[in-house]
Amino acid sequence: MKEIVKRKCTGSSYEKLLLLNNPAVIEFIGEVVNLCEPKSIFVKTDSQEDTDYIRKRALECKEEFALKIEGHTVHFDGLYDQARDKKATKYLLAKGMELGKNINSVSRRKGLKEIREFLKGSMHHKEMIVCFFGLGPLNSEFFIPCIQITDSFYVAHSESILYRSAYEAFKKLSPRATFFRFIHSAGELENGVSRNIDRRRIYIDLKEDTVYSVNTQYAGNTVGLKKLALRLAIRKASREGWLAEHMFVMGVKKTEEITYFCGAYPSACGKTSTAMLKGETIVGDDIAYLRNIDGEVRAVNVECGIFGIIKDVNADTDPIIWEALTTKGEVIFSNVLISEDGVPFWLGDKRTHPSRGINFSGKWYRGKIDEMGNEIPCAHKNARYTISLRRLKNCDFHLDDPKGVKVGAIIYGGRDSDTSVPVQEAFDWTHGVITMGASLESETTAATLGKEGVRTFNLMSNLDFLSIPIDRYIINHINFGKRLKSPPLIFSVNYFLRDDKGVYLSDIEDKRIWLKWMNERVHRRVDAIKTPTGLIPKYSDLKRLFKEYLNKDYTKDDYRKQFTLRIPENIAKIERIINIYKENISYTPQILFSILKKQRERLISFKNKYGDYIEPLFLERLSK
């Protein structure tokens, strides 16, 4: 393998590999060279020179285009390559391996045969890029070494922003150390984009911790260290006794005190807006690793950048991100509209858009239609931005701390119009895991194709990425908590409760108050009201917090509407969740049914005594 790799390496690339003193790395690269048959190989180290080379080549290859502001570039994916392809994303399962029902998979032998056929010779006349990255802070027990091999300079550029470069860290690895492996080829290109979308495949080999991706450029399918690596990490975490979660990590302030929260929210439930709240700090917006260190939960952001949806980012609601996206510095925009003078525009940016420009469909003008006769918007609804967290003014100083941050609380954020109160605390760790995390739902909106108000089950907001059976995933969470000296508190939030006229009962900024109340509970500075489903705030505490942080008069009528216990709806939710587990999950832990049934019994008891709807001030009197 050494000779094969040496012949293809350009400049000092081969010497860079030899300095790693790791035969397994060269063996892996050699296998990919034999398969993809690249014209040449470029090896990226941690140097600024190598990063600059990748940026320059992305422009030269026309995978990116320079914009008006220094450091800003734009990338366009193909018209039909604008999102994660769930159908084409499959686990390769060896004989005897089971993940449960409804998991998209193919036999390992069949899947490897197909993906290797598609990758064979896919890098002819292309430069192969070998990158060394780390998941989590380097030189820490959270760190997972990774090698990304790709023929896309856009992918390599994106990862150089999103992840910590780890070439030097690889030098310290034992030759026997394992690492995650990612192989990507955009395949044959036409007008700069992947041509053979019908042969797009994203296959995850759990046996070898390897991800294969071909005939696609969209970052969600190609940036291996993001959600694809999360699948590998969940399995690794299950073996080793820690948690890999689809969670933000943020710091909540009270004067000089900062308390760290993790939060799991399905799409359109307020995850990013919570992680980026004004006045707080952000460690990460998407993926976290949680470990038990000396009996307490420590968490890190797997990444050091953001690959974020840009739709509706504007100066009013997202001032920190807006500033970073409109000033000098490194940003990759994707699938937005570019005006004739090189300025990016996107849906919901609250600016007057030009009537023509360049977007993912090529030359664009207002009224342009696609081959189906549908009008093409100026920017895609899934348009993105890629940016370093360090460019944000609210970036937390513990971003790269090898010890991570101590977690005071975990939030599960759902979306429903008629059931859950805006914020409540679980009775204990297991109660929270079962009734809040493992029962998490999100409700479809008018912006979603299909019927509005349909509730989608998404336990821990991690269902799409599970690489272990659901029953094991739930038990792992419960056991993780049992081993802690003092588990973080668990909360649920729901920013989308509405009255009978369809009016939202919480304002956009109210989430700040729910967060501040949770912080008060973590430090036991306030009491709470016990209800059949959890602990809710007292009116007097919320009134004080609203005045202190929003200068807003919070009325008893607001409190009554938001925190009334809605018993029929809560019982209906429990029955929905029980049926989902009975009908779709092969081996559900009995503790889940036990805890949900006890909660239903408490609700029925309250219903028989006090009626269907119980106001919070009455609940407060009952709990005294």
The answer to whether 269 is a known catalytic residue is yes
Query: Alpha helix locations (H) across 276-340?
Result: 319-325
Q: What is the DSSP string of 348-396?
A: TS-SPPPSEEEETTEEEETT-B-TTSPBPPSS-TT-EEEEEGGGSTTB-
As a dihedral over the C-alpha atoms of residue 388, residue 75, residue 132, residue 184, rounded to 10 degrees, the angle is 140
**DSSP category for residue 533:** S
Rounded CA-CA distance 182/249 in Å is 26
The residue among 196, 36, 66 whose CA lies nearest residue 127 is 36
First-to-last C-alpha distance (Å) of the chain: 74
Specify whether the CB–CB gap between 449 and 404 falls below 8 A.
Answer: no
Rounded CA-CA distance 205/143 in Å is 21
CA distances (Å), 366 to each of 75, 172, 337, 350, 369, in order? 21, 55, 11, 17, 9
Residue type, 54: I
The residue among 140, 132, 133, 153 whose CA lies nearest residue 26 is 132
| Neighbouring residues of 242: CB distance < 8 A, sequence distance ≥ 6 | 289, 290, 291, 292, 480
Which stretches does DSSP call E strand in 67-175?
72-75, 89-93, 105-107, 127-135, 144-150, 164-165
**DSSP category for residue 433:** I
Three-state SS sequence of 444-505 = CCCCCCCCCCCEEECHHHCHHHCCCCHHHHHHHHHHHHHCCCCCCEEEEEECCCECCCCCEC
Rounded CA-CA distance 78/197 in Å is 9
Given 131, 269, 304, 378, the catalytic residue:
269
Rounded CA-CA distance 156/290 in Å is 27
Question: Could you give the residue numbers annotated as active site?
Answer: 269
